[in-house]
Amino acid sequence: MVALFVTRHQELQNGNQSPFAVFNLVNPSTTSWLDMISAVQEFCDVEMVLLSAWVAELEKLDASAREIEEQWPALKFLPLLRITPSDAIKPFGVETSRTQAARATLKGLSPPWQDRFRNWLQ
């Protein structure tokens, strides 16, 4: 964080960037959800379903009931989920080039592997 702050301060001092710049602190190397689902299923009794089926089930819930909203936080994302044209969601990325330039450690991260993911779930 200190290195990011220093980089940001230097950019502002040099007039190189807008004062509204953002550093995204995420792993720039990705993996697919399908590669990770087996690890999830080892620890959680869940069934993989199509996104459209999941959205249909969420839409059946009475979102106006406070206890339902608390039990199903995904209801807050229904407008976003509805705009997805199909179950073949195109992957999207998060811009991390500025963060990687500021921190070599982030630049060298490998994708999250199943064994690491299992550790997170434990």
Concatenating the DSSP letter of every residue in 1-65 gives: -HHHHHHHHHHHHHT-S-TT-----S-SS---HHHHHHHHHHHS------HHHHHHHHHHS-TTS
- Spans of all domains in the chain: 33-84+94-121
* Per-position pLDDT tens, the chain of length 122: 455 555 655 666 676 665 556 667 777 787 777 777 877 888 888 888 888 888 899 888 876 777 888 888 888 888 877 776 554 555 566 778 877 877 777 777 887 777 777 787 77
pTM of the full structure: 0.48
Which pLDDT score, from 0 to 100, does residue 87 have? 47
